[in-house]
Amino acid sequence: MRTNKPAAPVMLALACVVVMVVTATSSARPSAKPSWCGAKKIKLGFTDGFGGNSWRLVTTASARGEAKKCPSVTSIDYADGQGNTQKAISDIQGMVAKGVDALVVFPDAGKAMLPALRSSYKAGVVTVPYRVDPGGKAGVDYNVWIDTPFAKAGEAWGKWIRRVLPKGGNVLMLSGPKGNSQGVEENKGLHKILDPSGKYKFIGEKPFEVTNWDPALTQKVLSAAIAKYSKIDVIVSDFGPSLVGALPEFTKSGRKIPALATSDGNVLGCFWRKNRAKNPTFKLFTVSTQNDHARLAIQWAVALATGGKKPATTHFPALTFEDSTTGRPHPVECRPNLPGDIYLSAELPAIVQAKLVKK
Partner 1 sequence: MAAETQIPGRADAATVVRRGSRSLFSRGLITVGAATVGLVAISWIFAPSSLTRGTLLTMLPFAAALAIASLGQTLVVMQGGIDLSVAGGLSLYVVIVTKYPAGDNGRLLAAIAIAFAAAAVAGAVNGFLIGRLRLNPIVATLGTNALLFGAVLWYTAGIPTTTTARLARIGGGLWFGIPAPVYFAVAATVLVAAVVKLTAAGRRFEGVGANAVAARTAAIRVRRHRAAAYVWAQLLYCLAGVLHAGIVNQPTAYEGNNYLLPTVAAVVLGGTSLLGGRGNLVATAIAALFLSQLDQFVLALGVTYATRTLVQAAALAVGVALYTVNWRRLARRLPRPRFATATPT
Q: Which residues bind partner 1 (CB under 8 A)?
A: 51-54, 57, 178, 204-205, 210, 214-216, 219-221, 223-224, 226-228, 241-242, 244-245, 248-249, 252-255, 267, 339-341, 357-359
Q: Vertex 181, ends 175 and 186: CA angle to 5°? A: 60
Specify the residue, 105 or 210, whose C-beta has the smaller distance to partner 1. 210
Q: Least separation, in Å, of the C-beta of 227 and partner 1? A: 4
Q: Vertex 98, ends 93 and 101: CA angle to 5°? A: 90
Specify the residue, 245 or 317, whose C-beta has the smaller distance to partner 1. 245
Q: What are the two backbone dihedrals, phi and then psi, of residue 310, each rounded to the nearest 5 degrees?
A: -70, 140
Q: At what angle do helices 114-122 and 85-98 cross, to 10 degrees?
A: 10
Specify the residue, 117 or 246, whose C-beta has the smaller distance to partner 1. 246
SS3 54: helix
Q: Least separation, in Å, of the C-beta of 202 and partner 1? A: 13
Specify the residue, 29 or 228, whose C-beta has the smaller distance to partner 1. 228
Specify the residue, 127 or 286, whose C-beta has the smaller distance to partner 1. 286
Q: Least separation, in Å, of the C-beta of 328 and partner 1? A: 28
Cβ atoms of 52 and 18 closer than 8 Å:
no
Q: Least separation, in Å, of the C-beta of 340 and partner 1? A: 4
Q: Least separation, in Å, of the C-beta of 132 and partner 1? A: 18
Cβ atoms of 166 and 202 closer than 8 Å:
no
Q: Which amino acid is at 302?
A: V
For the chain, the 3-state helix, strand and coil shares in percent, each to the nearest 5, are: 40, 15, 40
Q: Least separation, in Å, of the C-beta of 52 and partner 1? A: 2
C-alpha 263/C-alpha 256 separation (Å) is 21
Q: What is the DSSP letter of 212?
A: T
Q: Which of 104, 76, 107 is nearest to 89 (CA)?
A: 107
Specify the residue, 127 or 211, whose C-beta has the smaller distance to partner 1. 211
